[in-house]
Amino acid sequence: MSTNRSSADIRRVAAEAGVSIATVSRVLNDPKRVSLKTRQRVLEVAERLGYRPNPNGKRLRKGRAETVGLVIPSPPGRFADSFFLELLTGLGEGLAGVGLDLLVATCPPHEDELACYKRLVEGKRVDGLVVARTRLYDTRIAYLLEQGVPFVAHGRSDQIKTPYAYLDVDGRQGFYRATRHLLQLGHREIAFIGAPNEFNFAQHRLEGFQLALAEAGVALRPEWILEGDLSEESGYRLAQLLLGELPPTAILCANDLMAIGVLRALRERGLRPGREVSVIGYDDIPQAQYTDPPLSTVHQPFREAGRRLVEMLLDQLEGKDAGTLQEVWVPELVLRGSDGPPTR
Amino acid sequence: MSTNRSSADIRRVAAEAGVSIATVSRVLNDPKRVSLKTRQRVLEVAERLGYRPNPNGKRLRKGRAETVGLVIPSPPGRFADSFFLELLTGLGEGLAGVGLDLLVATCPPHEDELACYKRLVEGKRVDGLVVARTRLYDTRIAYLLEQGVPFVAHGRSDQIKTPYAYLDVDGRQGFYRATRHLLQLGHREIAFIGAPNEFNFAQHRLEGFQLALAEAGVALRPEWILEGDLSEESGYRLAQLLLGELPPTAILCANDLMAIGVLRALRERGLRPGREVSVIGYDDIPQAQYTDPPLSTVHQPFREAGRRLVEMLLDQLEGKDAGTLQEVWVPELVLRGSDGPPTR
DNA sequence: CTCCTTGATGTAAACGTTTTCCAAACGATA
DNA sequence: TATCGTTTGGAAAACGTTTACATCAAGGAG
């Protein structure tokens, strides 16, 4: 004899407990407002009936979606960056316990991305958003600021001056450290494979590299500063350009995927990564541990970031000023097998 | 002079168009029900005011969540499997255009997973679910069947007899083909690193392997059938066991991550993958193209599967019988560089 | 004793839709 | 002209909450 499964209503609970629905609601949302005795009775009944407030009733009444959104851009043919999965996991972890849901939308190309944000915002489907992989001038951020929608960015957007909440990992520091490390090992011939300029982090990482070089008084060869598109393929292709007669003794890559492409190019030339040519990546994606040799890289704590982003968003939803929610984390250099002293 | 931004209400549209709200609703949901003239007028006004029906009003009234759910299990320390990201992308693509949202929840360990499903369905947060990575007896599926919640499984659950909707990729065929390929190359000493038995696909993949061997009259060495946990680490560890005095000439792995671990173990022993020892994986995850050598594997079309899963779920939400929604796809063997004829 | 404060509860009005009835208008048919 | 389907549109009742406001009893201060 199963209890009536079809989801007890707040009315049902109220009737069964001999109180008004208002009291039931108060018991759940503001317990101190109701006397201990009735509170217990109501709780007991609610428990027994397996009552769960209907989220749509609540959402309608409160005028909130009780949902935060994340838009994942997914290249049509290829695989999406696994960094999103880690971020997503972190967001999920942060959201557990809090009553909010996580809405994920995927967007094909580049420009439609903004349209996707508009759909979520104008359709009132989310109370707030997480914006990932920020650009130098990020139209998504501009839009959200204009609309006054709470959001928090993973990464900054340097050309946007209005204050907004962000959590960034300091790419300048990251690559400054990586470069210093290479310099200390004795490298003087270091090449750089950067990211497309539209991304906000591209310039930062380059600057870290340049700064370390300048401090050490090491000349910067313009022809050794290249720009890839963050794919393995582009790392592979650009490395081939680099590996002429007198190749650099080290290559810094703005992300791990490109570094993986570089490793492949090196192997094909019979150059051992970490011996003839050192390679350092950025991100510390999972597969970085399983390349040959394991990739030295700059570690980004994506999952922790996801958790923190949720906290920051929550703060905003409770009215905290976005301008006060700005953090920059310093990443760590993790050395595995793809770097070593130069052999010439 | 911006138009009044704060989201036009259906009342507002009705007033402006000089009709009742009922008519506005009809124009949007059942256009034929209203005369051409007023329909056009209403549409024009709605357009001008940028009217978007409030999803919460609609959801409450219709008693539906207009949302489908996906639960991603995420190992506490490590990275989640990137297969989920691809599936997610496919789901997102399938959902675009349809009015449904995608809710993603992440769950830490093993048992709590069911609790997570319960939270979503008992809290009426979703109309339907996608269940991924099915188990031999999948408690999630049993639960959803019992509750009568629409869902569609990616993979089957062989020990559940009640009919339900699924889309599976035939692991038996996949590994039958892979094994036949190795046999044709001349291999006779083939080891197998399987998946934990709880997963439904584990048995299938093993059977494909066994069948091909039996057909060819090749003896099966029990000590060469191992069980990993799907991680690179476990592939690495188990491969070390295998690489004793007289190692197998080929190793079949139930997923790519373990195969990547195997590649590493081989390198450390100075054995060239595809030469001294052939390796074939399963899944065709992105990084399979960038291992050294590129990994031969069995391709699973995750993204297409995601799209199809959405269609199947939609069919169910429209009342179609789940028992008629069952598909098994046959995967393709993709040969890259990690297989070759045996060298002894 | 009266008056005022406090605490605990109930009443009823939202929140923004969809949908069930009805009623009016309109042709067409007899 | 009276009758009758058929469009067309409006009025109003949900859907399940939260919350402003009112009520009422109890208790303390004067």
Q: C-alpha distances in angstroms, A203 versus A156, A276, B137? A: 12, 28, 52
Question: Which chain B residue's Cα is nearest to A287?
Answer: B287
Distance of CA B65 to the CA centre of its chain: 22
Indicate whether B11 and B34 sit together in one domain. yes
Chain A residues 275-334 with CB within 8 Å of chain B = 286-287, 289-292
pLDDT in tens, A48-72: 999 999 999 999 999 999 999 999 9
The answer to whether residue A62 sits within a structural domain is: no
The residue among A291, A94, A248, A202 whose CA lies nearest residue B292 is A291
Q: How confident is the model at residue A78 (pLDDT cuts 50, 70, 90)?
A: low
| In contact, B48 and B82? CB cutoff 8 Å | no
Residue A174: its pLDDT value, please? Answer: 98
Pick from A7, A85, A123: CB nearest B85: A85
User: Which of A97-106, A313-322, B80-89, B309-318 has the lowest average pLDDT?
Assistant: B80-89
Mean model confidence pLDDT for chain B: 94
The answer to whether residue B222 sits within a structural domain is: yes
Q: At what angle do helices A36-49 and A10-17 cross, to 10 degrees?
A: 130
Evaluate the omega torsion of the peptide bond into residue B293 and state whether it is cis, within 30 degrees of 0.
yes
Evaluate the omega torsion of the peptide bond into residue A293 and state whether it is cis, within 30 degrees of 0.
yes
Q: For testing the chain A interface, which of B51, B102, B104 should be mutated: the one with the most A CBs within 10 Å?
A: B104
Instruction: Please state, in angstroms and rounded to a whole number, the distance separating the CA atoms of residues A279 and A253.
Output: 8
Chain B residues 75-114 with CB within 8 Å of chain A = 78-80, 82, 84-86, 88-89, 91-93, 96, 101-108
Q: What are phi and psi of A94, to 5 degrees?
A: -65, -35
Q: What one-character DSSP code corresponds to residue B110?
A: S
Indicate whether B245 and B151 sit together in one domain. no
| In contact, A285 and A299? CB cutoff 8 Å | no
Residues with Cβ within 8 Å of A249's Cβ and at least 6 positions away in sequence, in order, are: A187, A188, A189, A190, A276, A277, A278, A342, A343, A344
- A91: its two tokens: 């967001």
Instruction: Please state, in angstroms and rounded to a whole number, the distance separating the CA atoms of residues B134 and B157.
Output: 6
CATH number of the domain encompassing residue B31: 1.10.260.40
Pick from A52, A74, A261: CB nearest B89: A74
Q: How confident is the model at residue B173 (pLDDT cuts 50, 70, 90)?
A: very high
CATH number of the domain encompassing residue A86: 3.40.50.2300
Residue A262: its pLDDT value, please? Answer: 96
pTM above 0.85, yes or no: yes
The answer to whether residue B338 sits within a structural domain is: no
Residues with Cβ within 8 Å of B24's Cβ and at least 6 positions away in sequence, in order, are: B10, B13, B14, B17, B42, B46
| In contact, A299 and A334? CB cutoff 8 Å | yes
Instruction: Please state, in angstroms and rounded to a whole number, the distance separating the CA atoms of residues B106 and A93.
Output: 7
What is the mean pLDDT of the segment spanning A90-94? 95
Indicate whether A153 and A249 sit together in one domain. no
The answer to whether residue A335 sits within a structural domain is: no
* pLDDT at A6 > cutoff 70: no
Q: How confident is the model at residue A1 (pLDDT cuts 50, 70, 90)?
A: very low
Residue A109: its pLDDT value, please? Answer: 66
Q: DSSP 3-state assignment of A291? A: coil
Instruction: Please state, in angstroms and rounded to a whole number, the distance separating the CA atoms of residues B212 and A247.
Output: 49
Q: What are phi and psi of A208, to 5 degrees?
A: -60, -45
Indicate whether A256 and A229 sit together in one domain. yes
B214 Cβ contacts chain D strand, under 7 Å: no
* pLDDT at B17 > cutoff 70: yes
Q: C-alpha distances in angstroms, B298 versus A45, A66, B175, B279, B332? A: 54, 41, 8, 11, 6
Indicate whether A269 and A235 sit together in one domain. yes
pLDDT in tens, A261-315: 999 999 999 999 999 999 999 999 888 988 889 999 999 999 999 999 999 999 9
Q: How confident is the model at residue A36 (pLDDT cuts 50, 70, 90)?
A: very high
- Domain tally for chain A? 3
Q: Which domain holds residue A322?
A: 67-169+302-330
pLDDT in tens, A159-193: 999 999 999 999 999 999 999 999 999 999 999 99
Block residue for tokens 């990586």: A178
The answer to whether A106 contacts B84, with C-beta atoms less than 8 Å apart, is no
Could you tell me what percent of chain B has a pLDDT over 90?
85
